[in-house]
Amino acid sequence: MTRYIFITGGVVSSLGKGLASAALGALLQARGFTVRLRKLDPYLNVDPGTMSPFEHGEVFVTDDGAETDLDLGHYERFTGVSARRTDSVSSGRIYSTVLEKERRGDYLGKTIQVIPHVTNEIKDFINIGDGEVDFCLCEIGGTVGDIEGLPFFEAIRQFSQDKPRGQCIFMHLTLLPYLAASGELKTKPTQHSVKELRAIGIAPDVLVCRSEHPIPDREREKIGLFCNVRKEAVIAAYDLKSIYEAPLAYHREGLDQAVLDAFGISPAPRPNLSRWDDVMDRLTHAEGEVRVGIVGKYTQLEDAYKSIVEALTHGGMAHRVRVRAEWIDAEIFGREDASPMLEGLHAILVPGGFGERGTEGMIKAAQYAREHQIPYLGICLGMQMAVIEAARNLASLPDAGSEEFDHESSGERRFTPVVYHLKQWVQGNHTVARKVGDNKGGTMRLGAYTAKLTPGSKVSDIYNATSIEERHRHRYEVDMTYRDALEDHGMIFSGLSPDAKLPEIIEVKDHPWFIGVQFHPELKSKPFAPHPLFADFVRAAKDVSRLV
């Protein structure tokens, strides 16, 4: 029997529902339970795949090719449970499904309404995989009172009534603001948020209160009294130095015990938190620091590169060093001399992205790393820019570029495209075909694909394997036509698709560490299992730091 925990938020957004959900999942695992985490987002986009990173932050990709909210990255990093397409849904996807059914005549001529048709679709989604795990944690995006979130709140209210008593609980996150003038925490916003929640038929079983100051017992009693929640189920959530402290911090506050008490699980299994003790020991007892320059086009919003930042942290933990990410705007960088911005860095990383803006700066970063023997990791677009740089400066193709950039202009061809629009590839047992004019949403090469590594190559040694599986999200590929010309100048294609038609990894000979990958390794890194590429990249940066 699967028990369901619905996580909602109130007062303000960005309180940390995703982090609280992930930490709770980790704590339940530590007590021996199996978990799955889901995100229900009220926005009308079908998925975040077509949103600008400035709008929504990073798009997290699952093995089965879903483009999802970045909170699913938190879920995976904290629990190690690979997310699936059925772990993320939006209002847009729900409404699209309902309308498709209506067009097919599935509703037999009935008038289609939010209740019951939309709410039933949401409930059906939540119920997928019922019985597979001990606990399913469902986070509802936004805050209580948002008009677009009302169908989701109604659906989880109905869902809790449909299930046997005691199989569902509600956990609500709120804010306790501190007024410096009066020197006190104010509980009224939390009271109003819970009142709003109860007005739609949901009574929280556990309250998680975000606060910058300790919550006195009398305030907990007051919150419990006015919100009809036991005092022991009023949990404080304080600001932390690292997100990876969250499982231990929430355990100290009694969150996992409060949840098990709400379900009536007694006696509760004792938790084994050794994994998280080790994670925090590695974080807090670093033996040095490395500086990694991230040359990207969305550097004004760090959430756009959330998984990359976390993967670098994991790589640092593997070698007990602190990784200091230094953000460099690729667009500004492209107009100015590169050297002053990159001097003193121990490594350079160029992440993924879309469009031509900032790419000349990325190309300069790749050139600087190659010529100055600085460790370089290019991810997706970062790999393509490294190839373009080598084509221009080594393989005598001064106008080398990407077909993507020509598509952005008025049809005028400005480059020799060494990177082209991917029109066909093999996925499982069938061939996928794409055209330039296709819809943008969900049409890229998405999800996990196998890559074959050249025995004896640097990446083969790093992975200790000749076959790997990594997640992709791109619609442009390096043209294999130029492979021989590039390899003649020391850029080796050391990873290929199983049919040897698509390049997956490049590396530069006679360089301490220069690797570009077409996939996104950061999506599979975890604090207790750092990704091999990031771990070795940080090791190479650490070696450079010792030489400086």
CA distance 43 to 478: 35
Helix H or strand E segment including 19: helix 17-30
Q: DSSP string spanning 189-227?
A: HHHHHHHHHHHTT---SEEEEEESS---HHHHHHHHHHH
CB 432 within 8 A of CB 426: yes
Answer yes or no: 380 catalytic.
yes
Answer yes or no: 511 catalytic.
no
CA distance 376 to 492: 15
Q: 169 by DSSP, 3-state: which?
A: strand
Residues 6+ apart with CB under 8 A from 260: 31, 266, 268
Residues 6+ apart with CB under 8 A from 112: 98, 99, 102
CA distance 199 to 219: 23
Answer yes or no: 319 catalytic.
no
CB 358 within 8 A of CB 332: no
Residue of 380, 403, 470, 477 with catalytic role: 380
CA distance 417 to 420: 6
Residue of 251, 346, 520, 531 with catalytic role: 520
CA distance 49 to 473: 10
The strand ranges marked E within 314-386 are 322-329, 347-350, 376-379
Q: Which residues of 520-548 are buried (b: 16+ CB within 10 A; e: fewer)?
A: bbbbbbbbbebbbbbbbbbbbbbbbbeee
Closest-CA residue to 60 (of 485, 373, 447): 447
Count of Cβ atoms closer than 10 Å to residue 371 Cβ: 11
Q: Which residues of 260-293 are buried (b: 16+ CB within 10 A; e: fewer)?
A: bbbbebeeeeebebeebeebbebbeeeeeebbbb
Residues 6+ apart with CB under 8 A from 384: 378, 402, 419, 476, 478, 516, 518
Residue of 117, 389, 522, 531 with catalytic role: 522
Structure tokens, 481: 């036509």
Closest-CA residue to 71 (of 120, 17, 116, 117): 17
Closest-CA residue to 292 (of 323, 328, 318, 337): 323
**Residues known to be catalytic:** 380, 520, 522
